[in-house]
Amino acid sequence: MNDNKQQGGKKKKSKAKNKASSGTPATALAYRGPVALPGERLGIDMDEVVVLNTGTLTTGVSGLLNTVFDWYLQASSSTDWTSLLALWSEYRILGMEVTCVPWNTFNQPTTTSLAPVFSVVDRSNNSALTTSTATVNHASCRLHKAGAKFKREVLMEGSDEAQFVEASATPVIAARAFIKLFTTGGTASTNLYDFVAKIRVQVRLRK
């Protein structure tokens, strides 16, 4: 009987320990957690917040779609960005998740010649993709069926991206990550997808 009581006590202690959450340490050089789940309250001087940005992806005059999602520009375009940085002195971005939903799911692509959508994650530059060859040769390239919903995410990785930035400053290109899309064969100036970008931001040093 005493053994059972002791075992039960150990289980309760384990459960209590699991409930504790320390969030992402400020010294972390990479992030492996979720992007889209609600932010965590980490204490008086640090927090994690998820901000949203939405929009529509439209082909250009040649029917080409080559969008670049810059995680800083997506975050700073959210309606909560200004009020968030008014409360905190520094920030860094832990990750971005982009979900694209086609305009005409049931009819498939707006044009029968529309190619599948390619997506890549780029940490070196913010230039748009220009050719199918360069896109498919990218190490992170993924293929998404034309006219279907798809999702892509990128997480913080390395010392450049892990640096905290002053609230009034813009991170340099080396400290930002990009999700790039590319497809051809569409009708010019046609809405293809609505998107939702979710960006997980870690802030610290409350003003």
Domain chopping of the chain, boundaries: 48-206
Report the pLDDT value the prediction gives residue 167, as an integer from 0 to 100: 96
Task: Please give the Cα distance from 50 to 202 (Å, whole number).
Answer: 9
Residue 59, classified by CB atoms within 10 Å of its CB into exposed (0-12), middle (13-18) or buried (19+), is buried
Task: Please give the Cα distance from 195 to 176 (Å, whole number).
Answer: 20
State whether CATH 3.30.1200.10 applies to domain 48-206. Answer: no
DSSP codes joined into one string, 100-149: EEETTTTT-SSSTTPPPEEEEEESS--PPP--HHHHHTSTT-EEE-TTS-
Report the pLDDT value the prediction gives residue 21, as an integer from 0 to 100: 45
Task: Please give the Cα distance from 154 to 141 (Å, whole number).
Answer: 13
Per-residue pLDDT of the chain (207 residues; tens, 9 = 90+): 444 444 444 444 434 333 334 578 888 888 888 887 766 556 668 899 999 999 999 999 888 999 999 999 999 999 999 999 999 999 999 999 999 999 875 445 445 557 789 999 999 999 999 999 989 999 999 999 888 899 999 999 999 999 999 999 999 999 999 999 999 878 889 899 999 999 999 999 998
Task: Please give the Cα distance from 50 to 79 (Å, whole number).
Answer: 12
Task: Please give the Cα distance from 119 to 102 (Å, whole number).
Answer: 15
Residue with tokens 């492996």: 32
What's this model's pTM, rounded to 2 decimal places? 0.81
Instruction: Give the H/E segment covering residue 15.
Output: helix 2-19
